[in-house]
């Protein structure tokens, strides 16, 4: 799904990097386990739409779930940044 966006890693991370101060504070206060569990639940739900091994994902599948992908990548990045700040200092 990420490759279908046809952006470099730098372009994609710049595209995703739009978070409000409230979102930033909220997500960094939550334990990483919440993001992990949410990702697990989402992936289990999305997996149900894939009926065959090695099935190619359709344009419609990508379109319907792109927001979820972007949201989870952003949350993961925010959690990682918070963890690194905690380890190495801000």
Query: What total of structural domains would you count in the chain?
Result: 1
pTM of the model: 0.79
Burial class (CB in 10 A: 0-12, 13-18, 19+), 5: middle
Asked if 35 and 75 touch (Cβ cutoff 8 Å), the reply is yes
Instruction: State both tokens at 53.
Output: 């091994």
Residue 22 has pLDDT above 90, yes or no: yes
Cα 24 to Cα 3, 28, 62, 83, distances in angstroms: 26, 6, 26, 13
Range of the domain at 56: 3-88
Please compute, for residue 13, the number of CA atoms within 13 A of its CA located in the half-sphere on the CB side.
6
Dump pLDDT digits (tens) for 32-77: 899 889 999 999 988 888 888 887 878 888 889 999 999 999 998 9
């Amino acid at each position: 799904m990420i490759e279908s966006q046809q952006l470099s890693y730098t372009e994609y991370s710049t595209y995703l990097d739009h978070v409000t101060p409230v979102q930033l504070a909220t997500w960094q206060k939550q334990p990483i386990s919440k993001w992990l569990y949410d990702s697990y639940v989402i992936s289990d739900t999305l997996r149900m739409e894939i009926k065959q091994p090695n099935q190619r994902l359709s344009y419609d599948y990508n379109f319907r779930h792109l927001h979820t992908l972007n949201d989870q990548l952003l949350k993961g990045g925010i959690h990682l940044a918070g963890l690194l700040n905690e380890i190495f200092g801000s």
